[in-house]
Structure 1
């Protein structure tokens, strides 16, 4: 893949995500806002594994733009291998994998601004189609997980992190000087899922501490580092909510960031790749602290 085609991959995916952000700016509905159902996380038809990092965001954006209700995706050949046929004229979405030392890895694991420069890394774009674009495929029934089970799972997940959470006041935030999260009282949230979704956002900020993921964005984003960190926290919370089966809904208090996120993306075609990779790294770090982690 040439440098020009590699840049085209960055630009095409960034343009798709930026368009989805702009389209939802009126009511602050971003491509990563999902309903918390089991179908919220994009998965591959062949492997059954969820997409990661930038590919998750790219497919959320593509599904939002086209109105797809399914989270199942695959290449033309993968659908054919399942006995299904992509309908003529359907437009593919783009996902990215990295070719590293003859291995290919999901884009969620790369382009975080900290990759080993000694390794030869090539970005490869692949067209994929949603289950809504094919004929001859019947999706399997999804297990119905009651809200009470999802909330209990979320409680165990955040408790296992050992993060200090203090309730009080009216504002949710992470305070680096105290290394603690402040949240309004539980009863102040419209429902328990909203509480845990907000906690997921602040917990992603918390992982940036030098003793955890040591996330430092000033060198990468300069004056736009604050907006970039908020984008990382938004994406990290979206990944966690999808993993935990929680709804990730619009937060009006974050509406002010939309314009700054669009500025970051339009100034740098690789910015969303870095933010998505950092968010995936934060989510992975938190998953690795779970007692049931493999």
Structure 2
């Protein structure tokens, strides 16, 4: 089984159990590499955050040893992906070997990491995610202030959160109509992720392949993952249940079974969208796993 199939199967098992792994309290924030201090990205965020550990920090078996600790006996590793960018001469060699004009610019490698909860003898860092609920909401509000070229956002007493690409406008119920402020921000982050696909932003709608059903499934996953990444960044919960949750799960299971690379494409697009909304600049460096 290849790495994409293995990760897809991991997510599918949770969906089969009625669990949406990217909908969480996010009270520990996005997963981080203990050795580099960098946040994991894209598909790796989905994999690592789908576990039930209480710590956001991860490290390899050898890193634990170098830090004077060890993995507890019987603990199981979690797979993540590292992307190695091909050098120009490697790309040229691939062109000649395959006849493809544009071979894949990078190659995925799988490796194993352990959560700090699984390690003995390594000191736990001071958490850098605020435990203060109001501070998390302030951070979410500050993030909104950082978003450049926002779509029009209006609030109405009726209806569900929605983004209209024709008018480039988001419509939301008033904050007071949500169960909590966190639920409001989670919905807003979802619709903002949709809005990054507009031609004047990332133009994602024009580049998504497949028929209309495939495009819809992928775009919904992009918005789900993008909202999760932003909730993880701010520490805002998106764990709220949805009246249509069961039907969403059925749709995602069907789409993921049909395409084992769907998770990768959707998570990659969601990460680019989250970076855009956070004001981060895309680079080869940011595309690699931490």
TM-score between the two structures when normalised by the length of structure 2: 0.84
* Matching residue of 1:97: 82
| Alignment partner of 1:211 is 2:211 | no
Contact 1:94 1:126 survives alignment (8 Å): yes
So what's the TM-score if we normalise by structure 1? 0.83
- The answer for the alignment partner of 1:113 in structure 2 is none
Q: Does the CA-based 8 Å contact 2:29-2:234 persist in structure 1?
A: no
Q: Deviations over 1:210-253 (max 9, x none)?
A: 11111136524652221221111010000001111211213414
1:138 paired with 2:123, answer yes
Q: 1:99 to 1:201 in 2, by over 3 A?
A: same
Q: 1:76 aligns with which of 61, 74, 79?
A: 61
Task: Give the structure 2 partner of residue 157 of structure 1.
Answer: 143
CA distance in structure 1 between the partners assigned to 2:105 and 2:26 by the alignment: 38
1:239–1:138 CA distance, 2 compared to 1 (3 A):
same
Count of matched residue positions in the alignment of Structure 1 and Structure 2: 263
Deviations 1:59-78 (CA, angstroms, capped at 9, x unpaired): 122x1xxx322221111011
Residue in 2 aligned with 1:19? 13
Please tell me whether the aligned partners of residues 227 and 257 of structure 1 are also in contact (alpha carbons under 8 angstroms). no
Confirm whether residue 182 of structure 1 aligns to residue 167 of structure 2.
Answer: no
Q: Which structure 2 segments of 5+ residues have no match? A: 89-100, 282-290
Q: 2:3 aligns with which of 9, 15, 18?
A: 9
Q: How does 1:45-84 map to 2 (within 5 A)?
A: 45-61=34-50, 63=51, 67-84=52-69
Q: 1:100 to 1:279 in 2, by over 3 A?
A: same
The verdict on how the C-alpha distance between 1:117 and 1:17 changes in structure 2, with shifts beyond 3 A counting, is: farther
Select which of 193, 197, 201 maps to 2:182: 193
Q: Could you list the per-position Cα deviations for residues 31-78 of structure 1 after superposition, in whole angstroms to 9, with x for gaps in the alignment?
A: 1122232x23111110111100000001122x1xxx322221111011
Helix, strand or coil at the partner of 1:252: coil
Gaps of 5+ in 1: 1-6, 104-115
Contact 2:183–2:240 (Cα < 8 Å) also in 1: no
Structure 1 residue 20: Cα displacement = 1.9
Given candidates 80, 87, 107, the residue that maps to 1:122 is 107
User: Which residue number in structure 2 is paired with residue 273 of structure 1?
Assistant: 264
CA distance in 1, matches of 2:87, 2:24: 35
Partner-residue secondary structure (3-state), 1:127: strand
CA RMSD of aligned residues (A): 2.1
1:131 positional shift:
1.3
Corresponding residue for 1:166? Answer: 154
Query: Given that residues 72 and 118 in structure 2 are in contact (C-alpha distance below 8 angstroms), is that contact kept between their aligned partners in structure 1?
Result: yes
